[in-house]
Copies of this chain bind each other. A is one copy, B any other.
Amino acid sequence: MDIREIAKRAKVSTATASRAINRVPTVNPQLAKRVWSVVEELGYYPNTQARALVSGRSRIFGLIVSEITNPFFPEIVQVFERIAVQHDYEILLTSTGNDPKRMESSVRRMIERRVEGVAIMTFGMEEVLLEDLKLRKVPLVFVDVGPLRARVSNIRIDYLHGIRQAVQHLAALRHEKIAFITGPRRIKSARAREHAYLHSMLEIGLPADSAFIVEGDHTMEGGMAACALLLSKPDRPTAVLCSNDMTAIGVMRKSYEVGITIPRDLSVVGFDDIRLAQFVLPPLTTVQMSQSELARLAFHALLTEVERETPAPEGSEYTLKTNLVLRESTSLVASAAKRSGGKRREIPSS
């Protein structure tokens, strides 16, 4: 069953059938109605491949992530897909597992399906691997990396905003020994978080020397190891800020293992605000970097480039703010709590 069949049954030409189906306004309403009734009677759906072939537009956007099982990504995928559908786009989802081979294969698949744009959400992947896409002038959007170029947009994350809130929140709870567990330092966004921590500590006169900074790797295991290290120090921190939520969850688990109660004995703050952060016990106070907003920005960056009629010299730049969300993994530092009568929390969760 194809458009010719429809045309024949509606007693019109294929051109008219095509126009009616695509709701071209100039077609005679009588005919249009006839076409549509045949379409509905037969349950006809136009063949997208044929459309794509002739129009040169696939109506597919690529979305490259590290691994969909990384809790950071499901919401991004969900929102990206939902918006895509609203705009009659499909999404080609690929994952790299941070493996250059798989990144290469992702790029190949994108090109073979002739995607109209690609959002790259895999933090810290070699930009070089995307040369093939740039060559083909496919619009690209990155998060937090690289310079603007023609058809290449960027979403900048304002790490300082949320991290400063986190540090000041902790300081307000009388914490002074606030440790930081970093992410892998080869990842730019991890370094940016660390830098925001340093800046926030220094600006309110709190010590942020190397003894309080320990390296993690953005996994739970890394968080556990880092936590163990921190706990073994002679001068133990009373609060710890983590480069991401999985790290914070590692801290919580290690604390649980060694009998340290959170937040009574140790306050912990995460970063990202993945869904999981709400489900751990106690619910994790964390710096939110809205995944849905990120997905939304990425989609619109791509759409803007695709719909641009006159080629711009470079893509656009967007900014995503971060914000502290208060839950229950932080509390007054122990000494102060004693004075204030042992109240479990000073700041109500919003």
Contacts and interface: CB of A to CB of B under 8 A. Distances in A.
B49 A58 contact: yes
A53 B45 contact: no
Contacts of A48: 112-114
A155 interface: no
The range of chain A's interface size is: 35 or more
A276 B70 CA distance: 11
Nearest to A257: B281
A256 B276 contact: no
A69 B58 contact: no
A93 B91 contact: yes
Interface in A275-294: 275-276, 279-282
A215 interface: no
A interface SS class: helix
Interface in A91-146: 91-95, 105, 108-109, 111-114, 132, 135
Interface stretch (A4-12, A72-80, A195-203, A317-325): A72-80
B46 A49 contact: no
A45 B111 contact: yes
A218 interface: no
A68 B58 contact: no
Please list the 5 inter-chain residue pairs (A to B) with the smallest Cβ-Cβ separation, ordered nearest first.
A49-B49, A49-B52, A45-B111, A48-B112, A69-B74
